Amino acid sequence: MAKRILITGGAGFLGSHLCDRYHKEGWDVICMDNLITGSYENIEHLVDQERFTFIKFDVTEYIDLDGDLDLILHFASPASPIDYLEMPIQTLKVGSLGTHKTLGLARAKKARFLLASTSEVYGDPLEHPQKESYWGNVNPTGYRGVYDEAKRFAEAMTMAYQRYHGIETRIVRIFNTYGSRMRLNDGRALPTFFRQAFYNKPITVFGDGSQTRSFTYVDDLVEGIYRLSKSDEDEPVNIGNPEEISILDFAKEIIEITGSKSEIDFKELPADDPKIRQPDISKAKRVLNWEPKTSRREGLLKTMEYFKEQVSKSG
C-alpha cells in the first residue's frame, strides 16, 4: 500500500510543490489548507488524480482524520512579511496552536513529523553565515515577532514532542525561496521586482539596499526537504542556497534579466529587516548529502517565464 502523507499548507507556494513531489514518488497525499494565503489553482492539476485529497481546513482547530498516516509536513503559515503583518494573530495561531494540533495528530497516528521552520528564527543575525547552532537575535515585540516567535515556539514544541512523547520529528530551517506559484502580490522582493520590471516601473528597494539575502530555487528546496524527511537527523537543518547578494544588486540583476527600463526607487527600510542572511549548509551536506544545484541566474530565468504569464493574466 502507498504511504500516506498529510501536508498542511499544501495549497501554498512550497506546500503545493511538496504535494507534487510526494505524489510523484507514489505517496497517497492529503493536502490541507484554509486557503487564506494558499490557492486552489496551485493544486488544481492534482485534485482529479488518484492518491490525492484536498481538505479545506484551518489546522488551528482539532484535526479529525480517518486512517493511517506515515508522515506529516507542517507547512501551514502566512510566510511573507506583508502577509504576517496583515494577519498577525493567524500567524501566531498557526505556528503555536496549529503546530500543537498537528503534533497531536502525529502522536495519535504514530507518524513522523516535519516542521517547516525558517531562517527568521535567527532574526537580525549577529553571526554570519548562520549555522544551526546559532540562537538568533529576535525582537519578540516587533512586527516580525509574530512570525519569528511563532516559529521559535513551533521548534520548541516539536522538540518537546520528540523528547517527551518519543515522536520522530524533523525540523527544516528554510531560507528565502523562489519559483513558480509565488504570488505576484505577496510583497516579497522577488515577485515585486519582477512585476515592476515587466511594467518598466521603478523598482522599490528598501533602505540603501545593502542588506543581503541568499535565494534558493524551489526544486532544490524540495529535494532537501524530501531527503530530510527520510533521514535520521532529528535536530534542525538549514536548507538554502549560500549564494548571497545585496538587495540593490538583486534589483539590478532583475532589471538586466528582464531587459527592463526600470530605475531604482529607494524607500524606507521596514523595522527589524535583517541586514544579512546566508545559510551555512555544511550540516545539510554532511547529513543529507544535499546541496543546491540551481544557480540564481538559472533559477531566475525559469521563474521569469512563470511571472510573465501571471502578469499577462492579471492584465
Which residues make up the interface to ligand UDP (CB under 6 A)? 80-81, 176, 188-190, 192, 204-206, 211, 213, 247, 270, 273
Of these residues, 22, 84, 122, 147, which one is catalytic?
147
Nearer residue to ligand UDP within complex by CB, 72 or 174: 174
Residues in contact with 188: Cβ distance below 8 Å, sequence separation at least 6, in sequence order:
80, 81, 82, 182
Q: What is the DSSP string of 75-96?
A: --S--SHHHHHH-HHHHHHHHH
Helical residues (DSSP H) of 35-173, grouped into ranges = 81-86, 88-109, 145-165
Distance of closest approach, residue 184 Cβ to ligand UDP, in angstroms: 12
Cis peptide before 129 (omega within 30 of 0): yes
Nearer residue to ligand UDP within complex by CB, 180 or 204: 204
Indicate if 40 belongs to the active site: no
Nearer residue to ligand UDP within complex by CB, 221 or 247: 247
Distance of closest approach, residue 215 Cβ to ligand UDP, in angstroms: 9
Distance of closest approach, residue 207 Cβ to ligand UDP, in angstroms: 7
Query: What is the chain's alpha carbon radius of gyration, rounded to the nearest angstrom?
Result: 19
Nearer residue to ligand UDP within complex by CB, 196 or 229: 196
Residue in 306, 301, 290, 77 with CA at minimum distance from that of residue 182: 306
Measure the CA–CA gap between 217 and 180, rounded to whole angstroms: 10
Nearer residue to ligand UDP within complex by CB, 231 or 246: 246
Residue in 177, 173, 184 with CA at minimum distance from that of residue 148: 173
CB 159 within 8 A of CB 97: no
Measure the CA–CA gap between 126 and 134, rounded to whole angstroms: 9
Distance of closest approach, residue 240 Cβ to ligand UDP, in angstroms: 11
Distance of closest approach, residue 251 Cβ to ligand UDP, in angstroms: 7
CB 31 within 8 A of CB 53: yes
Q: Is 135 helix (H, G, I), strand (E, B) or coil?
A: coil
Catalytically active residues are: 147
